Structure 1
Amino acid sequence: MNGNRTRQPRRAAVEHAAWVFYAIAALGSTIGQIWVGVQTPPWPANLDWWWRALFVAPFAVVIDLGGAVTAAFADWRQRLGEAAYGWRILSAATVTIGVAINIIGHADVMYLAVVFGGLGVFAYAIWLMHSAARRRDALRAAGKLADTAPVFGIVQWWREPAVTRRARSLAVAQRLPLHQALDLARRQLRDEKRRAALATHVETLIRSRHDDPVRADIAATTLDLDAVAAALTTQADVPGWARVIGADLTPPAAPILDSDPDAAQTPTAGLPAGPMPPADVLRRVPQDQASYDRWRQLWAELKANPDVELAEFAVRHDISLRQVQWIRRTGASGLLDSPLTLIDRIAQLAARNGHGPRPAS
């Protein structure tokens, strides 16, 4: 409330200043036209100058006042939603005549031509901008004009023009502050770019399922590819991919060093030889000898033919693709190089370190 009370006197002061400036500029333009009217027409020699000024003054006032009156009519009709081209053209033509009289009539004195012609242009410009501002305020108060967007600044427009353009629309539509609008715009553009790329791949996949190009076109056109892309995005196993990628980025474990020279001959020497698989894979390594030997056999085939297609390999051995991936990751770490199961090797290692009975030789 206090802010509104403070803004009202300020607005009234600005309004009064605009009227004062317009009145002074219009009076100067009128004086210039009267001056031209006193000197230029072929008046009788015995007619005093003040009679001449009295005769031409109404015409000069009508020309300057006519531009304002016709502009006021145009403003009124524009508030009602009309274009008001006729009133606007008549207003501009009237002011043009007044400015031309001042410039041509004082052409012999450049200073006077610039001053009186500039005053006419200045008065008309003030009137147009003032009336346009009042018209926008009235339309905004009536709910017929959109709210103004935040000022983003030249640097923001230069750095992120697409984001700023979207943020400006969001700020107006959802009445968001500047930084929230920018964050939402960046997120929307990023999601749209991802969905567009995913929709392109989905369309390629759909077309690849049909040998007939006509059927492929029908299938790709009938489906809402954006909706399919959005559904795939919601079904994506983000944590699962993060675990897989994170496991590939883990550094290899340091090899176990044993001071016992006989340790080099034991199955635990050099364990592990490669990157340690994640815990969820280690839990699936078989503990019974038969299943473990089966894993070692499959790993030997994978190791001998590293370029084999995992899906084809899984079908050939009647196992799942996920199990093939487990076997490959476990074997790459060296945990399938020993004929003993992992639990047996751990027991032997504990026995050698004095934590259990040494196996009989």
Structure 2
Amino acid sequence: MAYERAVSGGRATLDAALQRAVRRASVMRLGFYVVVLLVALAGQVSGAVEALGIPLAAAIPAVGALELGGIVVLANADVRRRLGERAIGSRLLSAAIAVGAVAFNWLAHDDHLLGGFFAGMSALGYLVWLTHTENQRRDRLRAIGDLPPTTPAYEVFGHWLRHPLLTLRAKSLAKADPELGLYGSIAAARGETRRDRRQRAIAKVLHRKIRSAVDPKTADIALAVYDLDEIAARLARRADYDGLTDLIAADLAPARLAGLAPGEAPPVMAAEPGAEAAPALAAFVAPEPEPEPEPHRQSQPHRQPQSRPEPVEVTEVVPVRPAVVSAALTEPSEEFRVIEAVRREWEELQRPSRATTRAADGDSPRRRSRATARVPVQEQPAPAAAPEPEPVAAAGRRDRSLRSRVHAALDTHAPADGQGDSNQLVALVADVLQLDDVERMSAFTYVQTWQRDAARVPQQAGRP
């Protein structure tokens, strides 16, 4: 109630202010027209006296009739239009008289600048009176309901440029119902747009359904008879939102997005051996009992014996799956094997060069021959050839690094000068050491480093 009273009071204040503004504008317009009319009449009289030679007493009423003739005829046309007539003849005659007065003011003066000034004042007076007459006519038509009320001022960029069709419909709705206002008319236009789209969709489906049973003419009649808004309302009441939500949720399920078959479990990333073993095995290992406190000595009688915690009764035991633990401990994944091979290769690269290791080690015949080439010593009989080593077992392969095993196999079975095809040497090492595909790729690098070291040792031996 208070809000309505405030609104009604504000409207009354605006109406009173509007009435005062209308009266003030009317007085100002009348004064402006009188001044303009006097200036135009002065120009008409001076032009008639100079150009036509008419006496001043006769020129004043003559040019006054010419200047005011357009206004008189225009007022008569306005009266006829109030009676419902169009008054086209009266309006055309009024315009012709006004054009004649302007032309006479322009041509009757030898100074065209002065004639242009008087002609402009004559045209300005007629246009001011014409504008006032049309404003009064629109107000009268709007008061009796023959002219729609003024529409809200829609934004140029936000409404007309971005949504021209929607704004045009909102303007039409605001003309039909002035209570909608600016944003109410836009909301109503959006609602009508959605309703039209929904009715078109329903009409298309309904026409197809009915035409499948009867002829197209009967389908058209059915569409004209049935109320599409009522059908849309009943469809909205019967809509199963839960089922539609479940249907969309099924398409967004992680298993469907991952492309898994129905019932297929998602893949589990393999962890490092022993990462899950400790928590799993801890369930089978009983905790060690805490040591009992020593009896208190007699020299400390003031200390109270510590109370031991009461045992807690276990009512539920959670089973542990040992199968998963044993698989994780005994069967490492392929990714883990690749990571281990890269780690061993990195450790070999961080170690000292092979030339230093070969100089310190003198077990094989080839190493002894190179050491002899570097340091001259007395010749001694060559020792008996060592028997060919057996292929290294899988367990020993894990103990020693891949680089040392490849170099040892090449020292034993490859030529001493290191010459030869690298691929053939890799195949030789793979056959001797029984390497898999991952170790074979790493062995190729070790074969090339062995060849470079083998080619570098004779050059160093030939130096003084």
Tell me by how many angstroms 1:128 deviates.
0.8
Q: Report the secondary structure of 1:40's partner residue.
A: helix
Tell me by how many angstroms 1:220 deviates.
2.8
Alignment partner of 1:334 out of 249, 254, 263: 263
Tell me by how many angstroms 1:113 deviates.
2.9
Tell me by how many angstroms 1:232 deviates.
4.2
Q: Is the 8 A contact 1:104 1:113 kept in 2?
A: yes
Tell me by how many angstroms 1:183 deviates.
0.8
Alignment partner of 1:63 out of 44, 52, 66: 66
Matched with 2:51 is 40
How many aligned residue pairs are there? Answer: 253
Deviations 1:38-65 (A, max 9, x none): 1112x3xxxxxxx722211111111121
Deviations 1:78-107 (A, max 9, x none): 22222111221121111111111112223x
Q: Is the 8 A contact 2:108 2:115 kept in 1?
A: yes
Alignment partner of 2:162 out of 155, 159, 162: 159
Q: Which amino acid aligns with 1:29?
A: A
Quickly say closer, same or farther: Cα 1:241–1:13, change in 2 above 3 A: farther
Structure 2 Cα separation of the partners of residues 232 and 240 of structure 1:
21
Q: Which amino acid aligns with 1:91?
A: S
Matched with 2:41 is 30
For 1:68-147, list aligned pairs within 5 A. 68-106=71-109, 108-147=110-149
TM-score (norm 2): 0.49
- Look at both structures and tell me which one has the larger radius of gyration over its CA atoms: 2
Q: Is the 8 A contact 1:26 1:123 kept in 2?
A: yes
Alignment partner of 1:11 out of 19, 22, 42: 22
Matched with 1:358 is none
Q: Which amino acid aligns with 1:126?
A: V
Matched with 2:421 is none
Q: Which amino acid aligns with 1:122?
A: L
Matched with 1:305 is none
Provide the aligned C-alpha RMSD in A.
3.1
Alignment partner of 1:53 out of 45, 50, 56: 56
Bigger relative CO (Cα 8 Å, ≥ 6 apart): 1
Tell me by how many angstroms 1:10 deviates.
1.4
Tell me by how many angstroms 1:203 deviates.
2.7
Q: Is the 8 A contact 1:196 1:226 kept in 2?
A: no
Tell me by how many angstroms 1:196 deviates.
1.9
Q: Is the 8 A contact 2:203 2:223 kept in 1?
A: no
For 1:117-266, list aligned pairs within 5 A. 117-155=119-157, 156-175=159-178, 176-207=180-211, 209=212, 216-224=215-223, 227=226, 229-234=228-233, 235-236=235-236, 237=239, 239-240=241-242, 242-252=244-254
TM-score (norm 1): 0.62
Q: Which amino acid aligns with 1:13?
A: R
Q: Which amino acid aligns with 1:218?
A: K
Q: Report the secondary structure of 1:145's partner residue.
A: coil
Tell me by how many angstroms 1:202 deviates.
3.2
Q: Is the 8 A contact 1:29 1:117 kept in 2?
A: yes
Q: Is the 8 A contact 1:75 1:131 kept in 2?
A: yes
Q: Is the 8 A contact 2:102 2:122 kept in 1?
A: yes
Tell me by how many angstroms 1:238 deviates.
5.3
Q: Is the 8 A contact 2:207 2:223 kept in 1?
A: no
Quickly say closer, same or farther: Cα 1:185–1:238, change in 2 above 3 A: farther
Q: Is the 8 A contact 1:195 1:226 kept in 2?
A: no
Q: Which amino acid aligns with 2:135?
A: A
